[in-house]
Amino acid sequence: MSKAWTIKRTVVVAVLMAMNVALSSFSIPVPGGHLYFNDVVIVAAALLLSPSEAFVVGGVGAFLGDALFYPAPMFVSLFSHGLEAMIISYVAHKFPEDRVKTILGIVLGAAVMVTGYTLGRAFIYATPAVSLIKFPFECLQAGVGAVLGYVLVFKCGIEQQFERKLR
């Protein structure tokens, strides 16, 4: 592994993590909750990066975003988004040519994130009743992030740019 390759990868991880923090700072109000777009960055990063790099972008980035803007769920975000990113990355890299398995990995990662936030909200920083009320919005956020992240990477040419510049 060359030093230039390592520096490039580190810069990409840092930029994606900063994007995660930035996108967790604002939301679109929807009836009964808010829709955040940081999941788009988390899914895209997970499809492009190794599981450990994806954990840093997803988990640490979400943790920092929450620490800056809304600290109550920051540890829930660390584990929920971190595991989401690791699962997606692992499946995407284990089966790089199989888009169906990649999509299943994204769905599994999204399910882990929704489960983590639902349990975290129920037992750490809210109540089970609030958790059930917010459950549909967690599913919406996970779905939007999954679809847009997949489209950005595989349909908008980011994967080819990443391959050409960093691998």
Give the per-residue pLDDT at 103.
Answer: 97
Domain 3-166 has CATH 1.10.1760.20: yes
Q: What is the pLDDT of residue 67?
A: 95
Provide the phi-psi class of 130: left if phi over 0, else alpha when psi is between -120 and 50, else beta: alpha
Average pLDDT over residues 48-69: 96
Which is more confident, 133 or 33?
133
- C-beta of residue 61 within 8 angstroms of C-beta of residue 16: yes
pLDDT at 132 over 80: yes
* C-alpha–C-alpha distance, residues 125 and 14, integer Å: 29
Residue 4 confidence (pLDDT) above 80: no
Q: How far is CA 125 from the centre of its chain?
A: 21
Q: Read off the pLDDT of residues 59-110 as tens digits, 9 standing for 90 and up.
A: 999 999 999 988 989 999 999 999 999 999 999 999 999 999 999 999 999 9
Whether the predicted model's global pTM rises above the 0.85 cut:
yes
